[in-house]
Structure 1
Amino acid sequence: MTQLFSEIGTADVSTVVAGASGSPAAAQPGPLSPFVARHLGPTEQDAEAMLAALGYASLEELIEATVPSAIRLQQALDLPQGLDEAAALAQLRSLAAQNQVWRSYLGLGYANTLTPAVIQRNVLENPGWYTQYTPYQPEISQGRLEALLNFQTLVTDLTGMEIANASLLDEGTAAAETMTLAFNARKQKDAKTFWVSAACHPQTIDVVKTRALPLGIAVMVGDHRSFSFDTPVFGVLLQYPATDGAVYDYEDFIAAAHGANALVTVAADLLSLTLLRPPGEFGADVVVGNTQRFGVPLGFGGPHAAFFATRNAFARKLPGRLVGVSKDTYDNPALRLTLQTREQHIRRDAATSNICTAQVLLAIMAAMYAVYHGPEGLRAIGDRIHHHTLALASALTAAGFDLGQEPVFDTLRVGVGDLQSDILTRAADHRINLRALDSETLIVALDETVTEADLQDLITVFTGSTPPLSHSPTPSLPHLPSPLQRTTPYLTHPTFHRYHSETEMLRYLYRLQNKDLSLATAMIPLGSCTMKLNATAEMVPVTWPEFGQIHPFAPAEQTAGYRKLFSDLETWLGEITGFDGVSLQPNAGAQGEYTGLLVIREYHQQRGEHHRNVCLIPQSAHGTNPASAVMAGMKVVPVACDEDGNIDVADLQAKAEKHGEKLAALMVTYPSTHGVFEAGIAEICAIVHDHGGQVYMDGANMNAQVGLCRPADFGADVCHLNLHKTFCIPHGGGGPGVGPIGVKAHLAPYLPGHGLVAGVGGDQSVGAVTSAPWGSASILPISWMYIAMMGGAGLKRATEVAILNANYIAQRLAGHYDILYTGQNGRVAHECILDVRPFKKSADIGVEDVAKRLIDYGFHPPTMSWPVAGTLMVEPTESESKAELDRFCDAMIAIREEIRAIETGQADRDHNLLKHAPHTAADLVSDWDRPYSREQAVFPTPFTRSAKFWPAVNRIDQAYGDRNLICSCAGMENY
């Protein structure tokens, strides 16, 4: 019998730490870290019982029966021995100490901020918020949906637009998304040029250029003051305020753009709109930007919640998620994701975007920052920043510096001439970062953390002396002229006026949290989503100032700790996957898909094979796969699956031969989307290679591979990894995510780079795919901690137990539900698909009925109707105990008996426990005329009596909210 934890030892910490730093000790096999027992759910005795139920004497026997021997690793991963929690935190603390937290006044769309402690402790650091899943089950997601509705309201009110989504990845990708929207909506089909103001943030311009190239869009960069629309353009992008701080009146330019049939996007600083006239009032069609300065730490670039606001006319072209108001069974208002929320799953290669994620946790923080401060508080913050900016401007003008004539909000463009070197030297002496726009111009951007002492230091840095600080604006730098001043109210909804004391705010946060089921409540058995333990020790470093308070464009010498952390992660992920190069830049799984395909495209381009543009994609693939391929300029050709759910190798061979001259890539998920290890994966990869294509592997199911097999070894050329799945970054209610890619050596030159930071990516980079050079850098310590504590042996054990848990569930439920697909020897990988389609005929019970009834038992439903309509895909992960697995299986078996009662006529076919599920606390006190008891409805098990999770609303009318679109707080009282 395999001993799950018998290898746990107490290796000498100094040796382990040395190994983690890359010394020869790292290659030596060692005992399992004590943390492994914390991460894994089953005890040794539990594992023995589960294996016995499956008919195996050891974990090794189970793995041999499940994972094809041809792809099995023959050696242990060359990773450091696992550390215990204290040792890992100590080592990471030593890395953090190598970062230097300077005062950064660099701007570029990023600003230091003051995170209210009540929000930091009770949202960012609270597993009740950060372990929630995407709110696809709205009855148990009402808290975070309300928080996101607050976010949408914040954005629409401040921008003056009609509708906003529930956040995007970052400002650069939001700007790129609006380019795509404008391109698809263009009136002149021959117009293929997107005009971008040179006053936009340079990283935004870079991302837009990257996204434009494969779509055949030309990007023209210029000055709005001289562009006359002689060249046909389908859209324009403006920055408000400009990257150098200038606030321009764009109204006439926008009117000219509309006269030329171009849609206009304004990238705006949201906080500035407390003072500045909102873009919606001077003609913008779309407004994008970043909410980072609403209480979200800098975090060396992310994660932060971007926003995308537009007019109602473009509601169905809006990328990402959108929260809307619907109603439940009793006509009570209820929130849900609406319209195109999962559009890319349905429309596949016809989708308008590949986005399936958001930055939910960060959007909630930004929304709660606005709720806590209210409109008056936000205005006061904006006023204070603006006042400090004008005071600094007055002092610098008096000292003889040229600040130009344009109005500003918080950023000054200072002409310093040949004094720049001396000024930067004094800045370094004061541990202050300034941005050099050119050899004679410096940028200084202020924020809400700036004090009068900081202003005095800045004056000293620029002048070499400390003259008295003046608080009166200088005539040569005018205050905001009336056409630029905001006159309209914002955040008038009561939510933004009720919770300004900490007591009220705390209670509001917990009222919302209690409406949502998280991992703090129960297992979330979602197939393909890997809702595993996000250990507290992994989460602690996220809010260390050495990680959180670093500007993404701080000088390299101030970020040595981050650079070492990135290097460690790249090395470790490379070893785990077998790839030669790794990029950490993509900040979501779909972003990783897109980046991997861009790299493949560039590889073919550099070889002179521009004609290779066909991407083969199995019909079972995740919906983001075909959408990503189209965004990368490829043509999608579907490949059939056989009756067992595997790729039809004969069809693949035929398609590869038919499109051989144009074949660019195959996108494949492994283990398969159907949850099995396909024995023919190496043959599949070889077929593609034989016809000149590259193999992209979707890493969504990497939790079944780590330590057992490696994508690069069995034929993949590039693979993205979901760090928010396999490597323990939490889902955060639907984001943040991180989707790095690994590539083989021949693709490494094309890894994404960055225009503002040297040394990122390959020497023939595809360009920047996100605004920040390392994407969502501040949450990478989570994955670093996970790998450091688990070690190579622990990671392998985690994979084995994930496979054990999934097969145990499949075994227990097999007599009650059909297991749709199995691999060799009747085994599944790390997830299994339960077929509930027969119940539609036998009892008029659909997959939604089963899912909603499971809520009454205290569980989040598994993944519904994907990859097969009418089924449930279950993934327990390695972190769940046998007791929790049994509780889930008992619930599913009990629900099967409830269905059987309908089939036999014991329960009413139209009015039964499943049709009316989920049941709320309000049902207990309502008029009750149903043919089953209240106790059966809400307390189906002893566990639910002692630890009941109550859904906030009854079943929601999914279609009503689409027909009656309400997507902001305004008007809810009248709903």
Structure 2
Amino acid sequence: MSTPTSSAFDLDAFGRRHIGTSPSDHGLMLAELGYDSLDALMAAAVPTSIRMGEVLNSAIPAAATEREALAELAALAEQNTVRTSMIGLGYFGTITPSVIQRNVLENPSWYTAYTPYQPEISQGRLEALINFQTMVTDLTGLDTANASMLDEGTAVVEGMLLARRASKSTSNRFIVDADVLPQTLALLESRSVAVGIELVVVPLDEQTDVAAAGSHFGLFVQYPGASGRVWNPAAVIAASKAQGALAVVAADLLALALITSPGEHGADVAVGTSQRFGVPMGFGGPHAGYMAVRKGLERQLPGRLVGVSKDAVGAPAYRLTLQAREQHIRREKATSNICTAQVLLAVMASMYAVYHGPRGIRHIATQVHQATVNAAARLRASGIEVVHDSYFDTLLVRVPGGAAEAVATAHRSGVLYGRVDDDTVRLSFDEVTATDAELVDRALAPLGAAPVAGREVGVWRPASPIADELRRTTPYLQHPVFNTHHSETQMMRYLKTLADRDYALDRGMIPLGSCTMKLNAATEMQSVTWPEFANLHPFAPEADVVGTLGLIEQLETWLAEVTGYDTVSLQPNAGSQGELAGLLAIRGFHLANGDVDRDLCLIPSSAHGTNAASAVLAGMRVVVVACDELGNVDLDDLRAKIAEHADRIAALMITYPSTHGVYEHEVKQITQAVHDAGGQVYVDGANLNALLGYARFGDFGGDVSHLNLHKTFCIPHGGGGPGVGPVAAKAHLAPYLPGHPMAQRADHSGGVTHDGGPVSAAPYGSPSILPISWAYVRMMGSEGLKQATATAVLAANFVASRLREHFPVLYTGDNGLVAHECILDLRPLTAATGVTVDDVAKRLVDYGFHAPTMSFPVAGTLMVEPTESEDLAELERFVEAMVAIKVEADAVAAGEWPADDNPLVNAPHTAESVIAGEWSHPYTREQAVYPVHALVRNKYWAPVRRIDQAYGDRNLVCACPPVEAFA
């Protein structure tokens, strides 16, 4: 029996660390399937018609060792120059408390967790997220906040869309504050066109007559403004709301520690970023945006919302609430395509507030504000004009005709100004600069500010210019969680306690189909916190960010090669945003060609729901294409839909391999039929882990695709985010891919420019985590990537084969094989025993597993994706658990246990449930919590019993409950 000879298994190669099974394991697994090599298995699984040939002159170098990759990353980092940023515009220097950096950002218990769809084993991060929601509602003065947004710019767009659907106004006009952040304005302009919204940019102040702008459904205020100005928007908000509009305010959370909250001004929606709460700038991301709304709008919130419910014994328990409003569930009826969050970064920001508490947050805000006040006084004392009289942390400074020289002089001294125009520069103070007197002197010197005799910068305290009516008097962060964990010992233990309530990849396999929960290697993660990457402002000059731009260019080139496309944009900061970017590119292409009536998007019935939601937000109408009994696109129905709609077809969106986990033979016929009708083909890259190295989207008819770097390319899921969803395209779509007015370079992979509107606030999306995927590709090399694909397919087919006699495998392709995931049909089990897919999912917790994906894409099924990173013992452990659960279900059917009192319907079992009180169940305590002997020494204990989802929806509580609730 032949075994792989790939360098991926050389003793010095990273590949043997990434891939969990060994060549000898492969021999055993292949024997189970009846194949003598991985090559034979892949030849039988992947259709010959799409198999790629050899790539000549590959841009991907041979695999590097871990040490070599880190050395190359260090060389790239050395090409960056980190200067003190005073650019502002929503990105600020911040100090990440070491206890948070070590115990959250660098802790796999936090960064390898998945979205908390199984709340019983997600109580730790759900508590951290409800802390985040409470922090946001407290500071914004509104009633309900969600569990984070992708960034501030996209949060403003979502606020605009929320205002339109919630307003009773029939207008399509949205008024935008002229003092808006420039990147936010670019996003609003890009996103509004596709959905028919007219933007009206107005210089807002206390005297503005908003009625003069005409009827409108919404008003947007930047607070404080991009210029730093702080003013009272209450009258303007009231006037706008009087004619039926909703008011959206983008507010700086740190400023809200000192100035009146948006809620007190009458805002309906508050949005913004939590970046300056301990999350490094990272050249633009990832950071957790936020959105909060007044009472009555909570069901309109996009994204995820954490709420409080109760478990089976009445104990309080956290869960994602109102999940029916999630956009990927609502499909073409969606009002947003956001189906994710920035959980890891929201956790960091919430813990920053927990660690500092209300006094600490106010102290930091006061230091920042006082440094700004001192600087303004010094400038004015030197005869230099400061534009605004009221501000929090940002000054506009007039230097007639001298802005360029001032910026250049500051740059040489290690400081970055923001250049507003030829006569004006911007200085923004932050937590890093506020207490450094020498730095402030250096920052002010290029403007000609003389030292003020007898006034020490850290001591001199001119009066705050903020008017009394704008000074915050209402309390915030009053809950005990923000007033308890202020020593490092307390904080460390709190973070450990929460981590222990969760299940992440550091505990065991997370076999989620469609989600690819694979190894996030420590070497890949290592450079994320290097200051040369972490401390860059996204609008820093090109000369300062050469290393990061070089890394981005290399990664774009590598991703273009492995997908068969010509160019890649890394800007989309989630898979859903990559979908949107690709569809907007298709829309732009058709409009440029005069095909203004092409507005239909064909989407198979099995597709992930964000496909339909993204199409709607790209201004398209969705036409659903049927699937056949094998889960493939129904060719006859596709041809009928094409014939019916003909000249209106803009695009087809398909996932390959299919959402059902099989390689479709007819994919080339499908793409050709759409091209013949004049449409474009969007291939969803969610399942690329089954294809990499064996076939390429661009070779079998794809025009554009998004990829999930948080799946195939090892960026961790982080408990539900961060993610990166780059969009790759053929050359004819390149001009319509997302550009950015503030990008350092216009050119991208393939030597082309991307001139479409932006889809994220920063030019390169979330670049601080791109070194993770760069390192993965660099250490695997082309052969290693191919080996990973084959091993993933082997693992899925091995599990399918071992479980087939116990659970039907719902869809298979050639030779009875699946791709990288298999769907286990539990419907016959439910019919025979009454045991549901929920019961099996919760019982798996007692066996020490996270459940596979439930009821997607078919209700009553489990979709299992073991990935290439799991070892054979872990695969066998999962098989053993599933077989044992089948035996338990059969015992229920046989009457050995009652249908309403058995280990499955009562799962999961907590430690308390088996030691407290009398045991009255018909099964033993040992059967409840130690169903297999291996658990005796290595038991994961769920912290709560099964959670009552309906109760939480009926009784909506989305902020920290009182301590008494846990008594």
Q: Give the TM-score range, shorter chain.
A: over 0.9
Residue 456 of structure 1 corresponds to 441
Residue 16 of structure 1 corresponds to none
- Taking structure 1 as reference, are residues 118 and 713 closer, same or farther at Cα in structure 2, changes over 3 Å only? same
Equivalent positions of 1:15-34 (< 5 A) are: 34=13
Residue 426 (1) aligns with residue 409 (2): yes
Shift of 1:8: 5.5
| CA deviation vs aligned residue, 1:848-892 (integer Å, no higher than 9, x gap) | 000000000000000000000010000000000111000000000
> Helix, strand or coil for the counterpart of 1:916?
coil
Residue 94 of structure 1 corresponds to 75
Q: Are the counterparts in 2 of residues 33 and 791 from structure 1 also a CA contact under 8 Å? A: no
Equivalent positions of 1:756-771 (< 5 A) are: 756-757=742-743, 759-760=745-746, 765-771=755-761
Identify the match of residue 962 of structure 1 among 926, 941, 953: 953
Instruction: Give distance in 2, aligned partners of 1:35 and 1:126.
Output: 21
Shift of 1:221: 1.0
Shift of 1:831: 0.1
Gaps of 5+ in 1: 11-31
- Taking structure 1 as reference, are residues 33 and 589 closer, same or farther at Cα in structure 2, changes over 3 Å only? farther
Instruction: Give distance in 2, aligned partners of 1:405 and 1:577.
Output: 51
Residue 700 of structure 2 corresponds to 714
Q: Which amino acid aligns with 2:18?
A: H
Residue 103 of structure 2 corresponds to 122
Residue 616 of structure 2 corresponds to 630
> Helix, strand or coil for the counterpart of 1:712?
helix
- Taking structure 1 as reference, are residues 491 and 474 closer, same or farther at Cα in structure 2, changes over 3 Å only? closer
Residue 937 of structure 2 corresponds to 946
Instruction: Give distance in 1, aligned partners of 2:961 and 2:809.
Output: 46
Shift of 1:76: 4.5
Residue 599 of structure 1 corresponds to 585
Instruction: Give distance in 2, aligned partners of 1:758 and 1:60.
Output: 44
Residue 541 of structure 2 corresponds to 555
Residue 312 of structure 2 corresponds to 329
Instruction: Give distance in 2, aligned partners of 1:104 and 1:535.
Output: 31
Residue 71 of structure 1 corresponds to 50
| CA deviation vs aligned residue, 1:333-374 (integer Å, no higher than 9, x gap) | 000000146622332111121111100000000000000000
Residue 509 of structure 1 corresponds to 495
Q: Are the counterparts in 2 of residues 406 and 478 from structure 1 also a CA contact under 8 Å? A: no
Residue 811 of structure 2 corresponds to 821
Identify the match of residue 288 of structure 1 among 268, 271, 290: 271
Instruction: Give distance in 2, aligned partners of 1:242 and 1:233.
Output: 21
Equivalent positions of 1:871-950 (< 5 A) are: 871-926=861-916, 927-950=918-941
Shift of 1:907: 2.0
Instruction: Give distance in 2, aligned partners of 1:888 and 1:478.
Output: 63
Instruction: Give distance in 1, aligned partners of 2:698 and 2:209.
Output: 49
Q: Which amino acid aligns with 2:192?
A: A
Shift of 1:311: 1.2
Instruction: Give distance in 2, aligned partners of 1:340 and 1:891.
Output: 29
Q: Which amino acid aligns with 2:266?
A: G
> Helix, strand or coil for the counterpart of 2:866?
coil
Instruction: Give distance in 2, aligned partners of 1:212 and 1:645.
Output: 36
Instruction: Give distance in 2, aligned partners of 1:974 and 1:368.
Output: 21
RMSD: 1.5
Residue 223 of structure 1 corresponds to 203
Q: Which amino acid aligns with 1:852?
A: K
Residue 36 of structure 1 corresponds to 15
Instruction: Give distance in 2, aligned partners of 1:486 and 1:473.
Output: 23
Residue 852 (1) aligns with residue 833 (2): no
Instruction: Give distance in 2, aligned partners of 1:341 and 1:267.
Output: 27
| CA deviation vs aligned residue, 1:890-949 (integer Å, no higher than 9, x gap) | 000000011111122222221111000000001121231000000001011122111100
Instruction: Give distance in 2, aligned partners of 1:633 and 1:585.
Output: 20
- Taking structure 1 as reference, are residues 214 and 393 closer, same or farther at Cα in structure 2, changes over 3 Å only? same
Shift of 1:625: 0.7
Residue 308 (1) aligns with residue 308 (2): no
Give the number of aligned pairs.
952
Shift of 1:208: 1.1
Equivalent positions of 1:105-116 (< 5 A) are: 105-116=86-97
Q: Are the counterparts in 2 of residues 390 and 473 from structure 1 also a CA contact under 8 Å? A: no
Residue 180 of structure 2 corresponds to 200
> Helix, strand or coil for the counterpart of 1:413?
strand
Q: Are the counterparts in 2 of residues 322 and 341 from structure 1 also a CA contact under 8 Å? A: no
Instruction: Give distance in 2, aligned partners of 1:418 and 1:244.
Output: 19
Residue 700 (1) aligns with residue 686 (2): yes
Identify the match of residue 142 of structure 2 among 157, 161, 164: 161
Identify the match of residue 46 of structure 1 among 15, 18, 25: 25
Farther-moved stretch of structure 1 (70-79 vs 642-651): 70-79
Gaps of 5+ in 2: none
Identify the match of residue 802 of structure 2 among 803, 809, 812: 812
Residue 131 of structure 1 corresponds to 112
Q: Are the counterparts in 2 of residues 342 and 356 from structure 1 also a CA contact under 8 Å? A: no
Identify the match of residue 420 of structure 2 among 437, 441, 460: 437
Residue 747 of structure 1 corresponds to 733
Equivalent positions of 1:138-287 (< 5 A) are: 138-189=119-170, 191-225=171-205, 226-230=208-212, 231-287=214-270
Residue 4 (1) aligns with residue 4 (2): yes
> Helix, strand or coil for the counterpart of 2:517?
coil
Shift of 1:6: 5.5
Instruction: Give distance in 1, aligned partners of 2:480 and 2:692.
Output: 50
Equivalent positions of 1:638-717 (< 5 A) are: 638-717=624-703
Shift of 1:653: 0.6
- Taking structure 1 as reference, are residues 342 and 819 closer, same or farther at Cα in structure 2, changes over 3 Å only? farther
Q: Are the counterparts in 2 of residues 806 and 829 from structure 1 also a CA contact under 8 Å? A: yes
Farther-moved stretch of structure 1 (399-408 vs 86-95): 399-408
Shift of 1:484: 0.4
Shift of 1:4: 3.0
Q: Are the counterparts in 1 of residues 799 and 875 from structure 2 also a CA contact under 8 Å? A: yes
Q: Are the counterparts in 2 of residues 320 and 340 from structure 1 also a CA contact under 8 Å? A: no
- Taking structure 1 as reference, are residues 615 and 9 closer, same or farther at Cα in structure 2, changes over 3 Å only? closer
> Helix, strand or coil for the counterpart of 1:418?
coil
Residue 782 of structure 1 corresponds to 772
Identity of counterpart residues, as a percentage?
Answer: 55
Shift of 1:457: 1.1
> Helix, strand or coil for the counterpart of 1:576?
helix
- Taking structure 1 as reference, are residues 180 and 965 closer, same or farther at Cα in structure 2, changes over 3 Å only? same
Q: Are the counterparts in 2 of residues 836 and 847 from structure 1 also a CA contact under 8 Å? A: yes
> Helix, strand or coil for the counterpart of 1:265?
strand
- Taking structure 1 as reference, are residues 858 and 714 closer, same or farther at Cα in structure 2, changes over 3 Å only? same
Q: Are the counterparts in 2 of residues 33 and 81 from structure 1 also a CA contact under 8 Å? A: no
> Helix, strand or coil for the counterpart of 1:89?
helix
Shift of 1:764: 6.5
Q: Are the counterparts in 2 of residues 806 and 876 from structure 1 also a CA contact under 8 Å? A: yes
Farther-moved stretch of structure 1 (481-490 vs 220-229): 220-229
Identify the match of residue 544 of structure 1 among 527, 530, 542: 530
Q: Are the counterparts in 2 of residues 76 and 792 from structure 1 also a CA contact under 8 Å? A: no
Q: Which amino acid aligns with 1:416?
A: V
Shift of 1:304: 0.1
- Taking structure 1 as reference, are residues 534 and 181 closer, same or farther at Cα in structure 2, changes over 3 Å only? same
- Taking structure 1 as reference, are residues 342 and 85 closer, same or farther at Cα in structure 2, changes over 3 Å only? farther
Q: Are the counterparts in 2 of residues 323 and 337 from structure 1 also a CA contact under 8 Å? A: yes
Shift of 1:460: 1.7
- Taking structure 1 as reference, are residues 341 and 545 closer, same or farther at Cα in structure 2, changes over 3 Å only? farther
Instruction: Give distance in 2, aligned partners of 1:726 and 1:763.
Output: 26
Shift of 1:574: 0.4
Farther-moved stretch of structure 1 (452-461 vs 783-792): 452-461
Q: Which amino acid aligns with 2:141?
A: G
